Structure 1
Amino acid sequence: MKFTYLSQLSAAAIFLLFSGGCAKQELQELTNDSPVNEATLRVGAETSKVKITRGNYIIISTNAAGLPANLSQQLASAGGALTSSMDKVGLATASSASPGFAAKAAKISGVKAVIPDFSVQWYDPSKEKNVVSEAVGNPPASGDNDPFFDLQWGHDAINAPEAWNAGYRGKGTRVAILDGGFDVDHPDLAPNIDLAASASFVPTEKLEYALPNTFSHGTHVAGTVAAADNGVGVIGVAPEATLILVKVLADSGSGSFSWLLNGIVHATLQGADVINMSLGAAIPRNGKFLDDNGTPNDPTDDFIVSDTKAVQELIVAISRVTTFAYQQGVTLISSAGNDANDGDKDKSLVSVPSDAPNVISISATAPIGWLTSPNANLDYLASYSNFGVSVIDLAAPGGDSSYPGNENCTVAGITRPCWVFDLVFSTGNNGYYWSAGTSMASPHAAGVAALIIGKNGGSMKPSQVETVLRASADDLGKPGKDAYYGHGRVNAYRAVVNAQ
C-alpha cells in the first residue's frame, strides 16, 4: 500500500490550486470588449481543515465485493437511511440523526466498520481574480486556427503537437474528470462530452457549474485533457478523447469523501479508460479532526475530536475503489499536492487519493519567464509542488509564477505581465483563464495516457499504460526515479511512438 500524507495548499484541499505572492494577487479586473468573455487567474486559496460531518456515514462491508443482504432495512432498524450503494466494492453511505446509529449499524452482520463521512472546504471561488482575454486573430507562430493555442506552452513541453501530427489524438478513449462543476455547453468541450455517462454526486447540485464567475476548476481541467481542436479557443492534449464529467465537489468549493468514492465507482462502470483526479485530501494519521457539530457552549465553534480508526478505515475505503477501478482496466491519475512538501520526510499525514494503491501521482513543472527567453526551460519543478521519491511517479506541466519581473509580454493578441504566461491556460465557465498547480499537471498526464490507449485501439491494461508513460518520459532529474520528477516528465510523442 502506498500512502503518505499530503499537506496541500489548502490544509486538506482536494482541488490543488496555485497560491501566488501578495503582489501578484492585486490584478485589477479589466473591461471586456472581446468576443471571448474573460479569463480568470487563480492566485490564492484559503486554508481549510478536514471536518467530521456528523449525521453522514460510510459503511464498509467485510466483503470487498458486496454488501450485506437487506442492508437498507437493517440500517433503517438502526435509525438511519441508506443514501448510496457501491455494491462492487462493498461500500455504502447512510445518514442518521441518531447519536447511537454508528454503534448499532456496526453490529449488522457483514459490516466491517461504520465511520463518519468527512468534508472539506476545498477552495473558495469568491476569492478568484478576473483578468480579461482580448484575443484577436490567429496565433502568431503556430498557424493553428484555435486562437489561444499559442498560450499553451505545456503542450510544447510534452511534445503533444508532434503526437497529433503522427496521427494520435486520443480517439476511442474515455477519460473521466472527477472534479467540481463543469461548463457542459463550452464550445471547446461540448463536442467531446458524453453527457449520458456524466453525473453529479453532489446531492443538491447538478453537473453544470452554476456560479457566474469564469473560474471553474473542473472545466479548466477537462479542457486541458480533451478540448476539441475545432478552431474555437484551446486544444486538449487528447483532443479526440471522450469526456465523462463526474462532479464530486460543490460549486461552493466544499466536498465529502463519500462523493469521491461514488465518483470513482461510477466512472469505472461507465467505461472510463482513464480517471483524472486533480484533487487530494490531507488526513492526519493521528486521527485528529474538527467536528462540525461545534462545542456544547458555542455551536458555531468547531472542536477537535480524535478518531484514528476512522483514518484507517477511510484508507480501506479509498483503496477498495482505486483497486476496483484498476482491476477493471482504468488508469488512475492524480495531482500530487501544492505544499512544497517532502513526502519522504513528512509521514504525519495521509494523502488521498494520490498515494492510494494503483494511482499515478503527478508533480508539477513550469517555466520561469517563458516569453522572456527564446530557449526558456519549461521543466523547472514548480515552487509549490510536493515532491519525494516515495510519493511522485511522474511530472507534467502545472505552471508557476516564480518569474520575478512584472514587465509585460504579448502572445496571441493578449498582453499581460510576463509571469502570467507561465501559468496554464485552459477553458473556464463561459470563457478561459489561467491557473497553476499540480491540478493542472495531472490532466496533462491524463491526456498523454489517453493518447497511448488510443493508439492501442482504445483498450489497454493500466499496468501497460504506466509502463509506457515511464519508459517514454524525459528523465530530467537524477538518473532513474528521483524526488522531483519521479520517472520523468511525460512526453506525448515518445509515448505514442513507444506504445505497443
Structure 2
Amino acid sequence: MRYVYGLSSIVIFALAVSVLAPLPARVPVPPAAPPPHALLAPDQPDREWKLPPGELAPNQIVIQADAGDVVDWGHATIGVSDAWKQTKGKGATVAVLDTGYDHSHRDLKNQVTASKDFTGSRSGDSDVNGHGTHCAGIIAAEENGVGVIGVAPQAKVLAGKVLGDNGSGLSTWIAAGIDWAVENGADVISMSLGSDAPDSRIEAAVKRALAKNVIVIAAAGNSGPREGSAGWPGSFEGVVCVAAVDSNQAVASFSSRGKNVQVAAPGVNVRSCYPGDRFATMSGTSMATPYVAGCAALFVSYCKARGIKWAPADFATAIAKTSKDLPPTGRDTASGFGLVQPAKLLPADDPTVPNPPTPPDTGDGIIITPPPATPITIGGRKVKRIVLELEPK
C-alpha cells in the first residue's frame, strides 16, 4: 500500500516551498524497484515520500564567478561569525538524509566522508534533484575562497540518499538511513523531510540514534500558518523541530505551527550549493533545518575540543536557554523558543565546566597536583618524573 501526494492525507515529502522561476523540464527517470529492506508485512504499509508539485526547482539558479566565498544573509542574522571565534565545526560529523549530493561540487567534494544510496536509483548516491546538495551546503560548504560558506565549514558530512531523483522515497529508506548514519559516526542527523502522521519505523530509528548520543534535527514542515500543522519526525520526542524565518526575523507564512516547534532559523531565499557546481536560492523549513544542524555541529565541536560531556538533551536545553525570543513573548507554536543563536551556545567561559578544586597542602608548603596534561621537556627531553629531596625542618 502506498500513499501518493495529492491522493492521501498522509504524505511524506521534502520541505522546500514553491518556486519563482522553474528550471527547464527534466527528462524523468524511471522509478527503480524498492530494495529488499523496503519490503514490509501487509499490516505495516510503507509510505511513498514525494516532493509536492512545484518544489523540484529552486527560486534562482546562479553560476557564480570565483570571486570569493559568499556569506549568506542568514549567517549575519544569527551571528555565525561570532561562533566562529570559538569553533568552525572541526571534529563534528553531520548526516544529511536527503536526495544525495553533487560529488563534483567545489564546495562539497572535500566535505563528504561517506555516502550511500538507499533508493535503488540509477544515479546512485548522486543528487540530480538539488535538494540534498543545497542542504549539505548550508551545513558545511567549504571555506575555500569560492562559492558559499557553510555554518560549520570545518565539519564533515555523511550523505545518505533516502529520497529518489524525483524527490520520492519510502519510510523504510529513511529509517535505514538513520541507522546507517549512527553506524558511521554521525554526531548530528539533519532531515529536511516530514509527514503529517508518525511512522513507527522512523520513530524507532530516531530513538536508537538518540540513545547513541546523536542529535536529531528535523523540519517543522511547510503547511503553515495553520496551527497544529507541524509534522513528523520533527514532532517525535527528543527531535529538535525547526521553523523558518525571513531576513526580517519574521516567521515565514509557510512555516508549520505546532507545540513541538522548538527553534527557528533562516529559511527564506537561502543561498547554497546546487548540482552542476552551481549555486541557488531556495526557501522552506528544509533550509532552516540544516542551519540548526550546522549550529549543532559547532556545539559538538566545541564540546569535543574541551572534553565536555554532552547529550542530545543538552543541545535542546541550550537551544531553549539561548535562542532569541521572537514575537509573541515566550515560547510559541510558530518559532518555539525563538531564533537560534550559535555564539550563545558556545560561551567563552563555559558554565558547565567546574573550576578545578584547590590542590591539598601537605603541611610542608608543598602543593600536590595531578600530572600536567602537556608533558614537560627539559633540554629537549620529556620529563617522566621529578623527585624532590627535602631537608628536615
Residue number in structure 1 paired with 2:242: 362
Aligned to 1:77: none
Secondary structure, aligned partner of 2:95: strand
Deviation >6 Å, runs of 4+: none
Amino acid across the alignment from 1:358:
G
Query: TM-score of the superposition, structure 1-length normalised?
Result: 0.61
User: Secondary structure of the residue that 1:338 maps to in structure 2?
Assistant: coil
Deviation, structure 1 residue 175 = 0.3
Aligned to 1:172: 91
Three-state SS of the structure 2 residue aligned to 1:456 is helix
Give aligned-pair identity as a percent: 32
Which residue number in structure 2 is paired with residue 158 of structure 1? 78
**Alpha carbons of structure 1 residues 253 and 135: separation in structure 2 relative to 1, 3 Å:** closer
Compared CA separation, residues 274 and 134, structure 1 to 2 (3 A): closer
2:118 corresponds to which of 186, 197, 201: 201
Cα pair 1:124 1:253 within 8 Å, conserved: no
1:394-440 deviations in whole A, cap 9, x for unaligned? Answer: 110001xxxxxxxxxxxxxxxxxxxxxxx000001021111000000
In 1: Cα distance, 2:141 partner to 2:332 partner: 31
In angstroms, what is the RMSD of aligned CA positions?
2.8
| Partner deviation per Cα, 1:191-238 (whole Å, 9 max, x = no partner) | 11112xx21111234543353xxx500000000000011112000000
Kept in 1, the 8 Å contact 2:23–2:57? The answer is no
Provide the rounded CA distance (Å) in 1 between the counterparts of 2:201 and 2:59. 38
Establish whether residue 94 from structure 1 lines up as the match of residue 13 from structure 2. Answer: no
| Equivalent-residue separation in structure 1 for 2:58 and 2:326 (angstroms) | 33
Letter in 2 for 1:382: A
CA pair 362-132 structure 1, distance change in 2 beyond 3 A? closer
Higher RCO (CA-CA < 8 Å; seq separation 6+): 1
| Residues 188 and 116 of structure 1, relative CA distance in 2, 3 Å threshold | same
Give the Cα–Cα distance (whole angstroms) in 2 for the partners of residues 28 and 178 of structure 1. 24
Which residue of structure 1 lines up, in the alignment, with residue 271 of structure 2? 425
**1:404 aligned partner:** none
Structure showing greater radius of gyration is 2
Distance 2:234 2:55 in 1: 27
Quick one: structure 1 residues 28 and 224, their matched pair in 2 at CA, closer, same or farther if it must change by over 3 Å? closer
Question: Among 319, 332, 339, which residue is 1:489 paired with?
Answer: 339
Q: Does 1:394 align with 2:314?
A: no
1:413 equivalent in structure 2: none
- Identify unmatched segments of 5+ residues in structure 1: 1-6, 30-54, 57-81, 85-92, 96-100, 103-113, 139-144, 284-313, 368-376, 400-422
Distance in 1, Cα, partners of 2:226 & 2:79: 29
- Corresponding letter in the other structure for 2:118: F
1:492 is displaced (CA, Å) by 1.3
Q: Matches of residues 402-421 of structure 1 in structure 2 within 5 Å? A: none
- Structure with the bigger percentage of strand: 1
How many residue pairs get aligned? The number is 332
Q: Is the 8 A contact 1:353 1:359 kept in 2?
A: yes
Structure 1 counterpart SS, 2:347? helix
5+ residue gaps, structure 2: 1-5, 25-32, 353-393
Aligned partner of 2:320 among 461, 470, 476: 470
Q: Per-residue CA shift, 1:137-195, capped at 9, x if unaligned?
A: 74xxxxxx31x33xx1011111011111x131010011000001210221101111112
Change in Cα spacing, 1:315 to 1:168, as seen in structure 2 (3 Å) is same
* Residue number in structure 2 paired with 1:383: 253
Go from structure 1 to structure 2 and tell me whether the alpha carbon gap of 1:136 and 1:265 turns closer, same or farther (over 3 Å shift): closer
> Which residue in the other structure is 2:152 paired with?
238
Distance 1:341 1:229, change over 3 A: same
CA distance in 1, matches of 2:217, 2:23: 35
- How far off its partner does 1:462 sit? 0.7
Aligned equivalent of 1:445? 292
